[in-house]
Amino acid sequence: MKTQIPSVWDVEQARACFPVLQRMHPNGSPLAYLDNAATTHKPLVVLEAMDQCYRAYYANVHRGIHFLSEESSAAYEDARIEVAKFLHAQRPEEVVFTSGCTGSINLVAHSWGNSHVGPGDTLVVTEMEHHANLVPWFQLAQRTGAKTVMVPVLQDGHLDLERLEAILATGPKLLAISALSNVLGIANPISELVLMARQYGVTVLVDAAQAVAHHAIDVGQWGADFVVFSAHKMMGPTGIGVLWGRHQLLQQMQPFLGGGGMIDEVFRDGFTAGEVPTRFEAGTPPIVEAIGLAIACREMSRWFAQGVELHVRQLVDEAWQRLSALDGVSILGPEADARHSLISFTVEGVHAHDVAQMLDRVGVAVRAGHHCAMPLHERFQIAASCRASFFGYNRLEEVERLVEGLRESMVRFRDRKQVGRQRTDRQRTDRDGTGKKIGDQGQAS
């Protein structure tokens, strides 16, 4: 039975808030933007808040005593409070502004990892991780003499939880895991996995880059040690992300980057680091971006309250039903009722890039490639896939356009292959022009 969208959610009202969605595709059709897992568009309220800062009160923060600096500083720290509220964090000081999800993970890998991980230690990752939640841990292992262990994914896309517990029982130092796979659309049971890890004294970092845009996050309920995400995945600006960490852990960690803003005092032969979170925000911070992120957090909270999760769920359900009915289309991951926000798929005999290019010609934007998840694609023995990912401003009609565009693309590629086979047959005729094919009796010598 299909999920019903509550009457309080108005997709047309939501779309009207995003200027770029008013554009037409060069072919004259409305833009069907189904690449939201890569990045979401920005509503006018976020753009206006950032524009207002630049126009009315922009100045560097924490360094000036003039009124512009004081206003900017207040807005910047208010943004931290807003993000903490969005995450249900106990205190704003647990929120560190970074350059993005990748920057947040690298910060932990250096500031926490360099002092907690040593030769022979184990770092646990999974096959479904984004490269941003793999490479920093590989680098940490190389620096320290530790090793990484990868938890396998089952054929249906779910983690092998028995294998995970067996690995955790060996006492690794860290479990780094995504809350929502950017390829499979699977939401991992983070609270349960954290409890499992706690039994063995394992520190847990959660990559919430995809999850943050699709359901409310309560870091206290999750119970993890670190949670990271990027603003641009949830209608905020690029260039800013968040590291949330337990205050006690953050206090124990040394700064990753050095420079202005992160110090208490500097001497001729050294320095003392500032308090948390200042010690992790070296240099001029992303002031305007933080203000935009705060507004995006408010908007996401409002969307959740109005039923956007059920709206996206219906889009995914419909897309899964329609795509799974197409001959030659294979969907990665679980059934519709076990996935969120996106569908990745392959088309038999057609490269993902060709599929995406054909869809673009009919005004449907999807992502093609390995989606920064090469180990996962290797696990399913494919080089690339197409991904359609949905957000609160997408319509049901856009799902129909995706399916119809895909069906048309498949027909065109089948026709091309048929023409190619006919051409090959012609090329196999004898060199002497007799018309006899290779292998026929009496062929010319």
**Cβ within 8 Å of residue 338, ≥6 positions away:** 158, 186
- Residue 308: what pLDDT? 97
Q: What are the tokens at 24?
A: 């037409």
Q: pLDDT class for 93, splitting at 50, 70, 90?
A: very high
pLDDT of residue 384: 98
Share of the chain above pLDDT 70, in %: 91
Is pLDDT above 80 for 419? no
Residue 205 scores a pLDDT above 70? yes
What pLDDT is recorded for position 16?
Answer: 97
Could you tell me the pLDDT band of residue 418, with boundaries at 50, 70 and 90? low
Average pLDDT of 144-166?
97
Encode pLDDT of 279-306 as tens digits.
999 999 999 999 999 999 999 999 999 9
Per-residue pLDDT tens for 343-352? 999 999 999 9
CA–CA distance from 342 to each of 74, 91, 170, 336 (Å)?
38, 33, 34, 10
Q: Mean per-residue pLDDT for 361-367?
A: 96
Encode pLDDT of 53-75 as tens digits: 999 999 999 978 899 999 999 99
Closest by Cα among 273, 271, 228 to 254: 273
273-279: average pLDDT: 96
Q: What is the mean pLDDT of residues 94-118?
A: 98
- Are 117 and 140 a contacting pair, CB within 8 Å? yes
Query: What are the φ and ψ backbone dihedral angles of 253, each rounded to 5 degrees?
Result: -90, 140
Give the pLDDT score at 413: 81
pLDDT (average), residues 117-124: 98
What pLDDT does 1 receive?
43
The predicted pLDDT at position 431 comes to 47
Query: Which whole number is the average pLDDT over 105-130?
Result: 98
Region 328-356: mean pLDDT is 95
Average pLDDT rounded to a whole number, residues 315-319? 97
pLDDT tops 70 at residue 6? no
pLDDT of residue 423: 52
- Using pLDDT thresholds of 50, 70 and 90, give the confidence band for residue 444: very low
Least confident of 100-114, 362-376, 429-443: 429-443
- Span 314-342, mean pLDDT? 96
Catalytic one of 17, 101, 297, 372: 372
Q: Which domains does the chain have, with CATH numbers?
A: 11-42+307-424 (3.90.1150.10), 45-303 (3.40.640.10)
CA pair distance 264, 272, nearest whole angstrom: 5
User: What was the pLDDT predicted at 190?
Assistant: 98
What is the spatial distance between Cα 380 and Cα 156, in angstroms, rounded to a whole number?
Answer: 10
Region of poorest pLDDT, from 163-177, 178-192, 355-369, 412-426: 412-426
What does the pLDDT read at residue 4? 52
The question of whether 297 is a catalytic residue gets the answer no
pLDDT of res. 63? 78
pLDDT at 128: 98
Question: Residue 114 in contact with residue 144, Cβ under 8 Å?
Answer: yes
pLDDT at 432 over 50: no
Rounded to two decimals, the pTM is: 0.92
Average pLDDT over residues 376-396: 98
pLDDT at residue 335 is higher than 70: yes
- Residue 414: per-residue pLDDT: 74
Please check the confidence at residue 135 and state whether its pLDDT lies above 60: yes
What mean pLDDT, rounded, does the chain reach?
92
